[in-house]
Amino acid sequence: MFARPSVPGPRGTGLRPDAGSAPPILTPEALMHSDLLILGDSHVGYLRQAVQMIGLLPWQYQFCEVGGATAVGMRNPFAAVNALQTFRDFLQDKSRQATIIVQLGEADCGFVVWYRAQLYDEPVQEQLSDAIGAYLGFLMELQRSGFHDIVITGATLPTMPGAEAAGEAARLRRDMPGTLEQRTRLTLDYNKVLQAKARDFRLHYLDISADLLDPETKTVRGVYRNPDPSDHHLDHTAVGRLWADKLRGLIFEQTSNRRFPAA
């Protein structure tokens, strides 16, 4: 568990930036008072790209990336990828005044949920609920340890088309019954529940799924797919731009809630 904080810092409002407004201009004061701790699976790479695009200085953000981390693994310290303990160790000495951004769920919706449904002969939706429950347990642990400014992000939509894709990530997904369209719908369902839970927990919620989705195919637009068909990650530059807009809005809001309102 996390060490007991010396000074708790509850300051989040649970309000989201206005998604319909233009991206705000970040003032020097906003940049000076943005302390971001970003943790999650390998898909935090898009957020890494985003913070570089908006020009945050190196000491204003830190990443804790654990490849293969899953939401359901947040309940199991003995998981093959022990992301839970890695996140705990990373946050042990961090300021409780920091803003935490968490990115998890792609592996759950793309592979693990389907695999566990087969393994335990249970409905996919039941396994999805189990993954979300484990994720929420981790968020509650963060709150109990003194972190109150927490942002959860929508899980990354899948891109692996199926049997013709090569690579280990594609092989794992190819062996599961869900098609790309079904895995996309499941991820969207997962994100809707996360958004609702964020309201319940008074947390921020950020998502780029609507921007990624092609309205005709109901899967990720071609412009956001990785040029390497064997890579299940999205195109870091194109998706980084989407996340940069989201982070600008988040930092603007966080700054407005502190001492330095942006002009």
pLDDT value, residue 229? 80
Each residue of 211-229: pLDDT tens digit? Answer: 999 999 999 999 999 998 8
pLDDT value, residue 11? 33
**Domain definitions of the chain by residue range:** 28-256
- Cα–Cα distances (Å) from 194 to 30, 78, 118, 188, 201, in that order, read 28, 25, 24, 10, 10
Is domain 28-256 in CATH 3.40.50.1110, yes or no?
yes
Give me the residues of the chain with pLDDT under 70, please: 1-34, 56-59, 78, 161-176, 254-263
Alpha helices in the chain (DSSP H): 28-32, 45-53, 83-91, 106-107, 113-120, 124-144, 168-174, 180-201, 209-212, 236-256
Each residue of 40-93: pLDDT tens digit? Answer: 999 999 999 999 898 765 557 899 999 999 999 998 776 778 899 999 999 999
* pTM, full prediction: 0.81
For the chain, what percent of residues have pLDDT higher than 90? Answer: 57
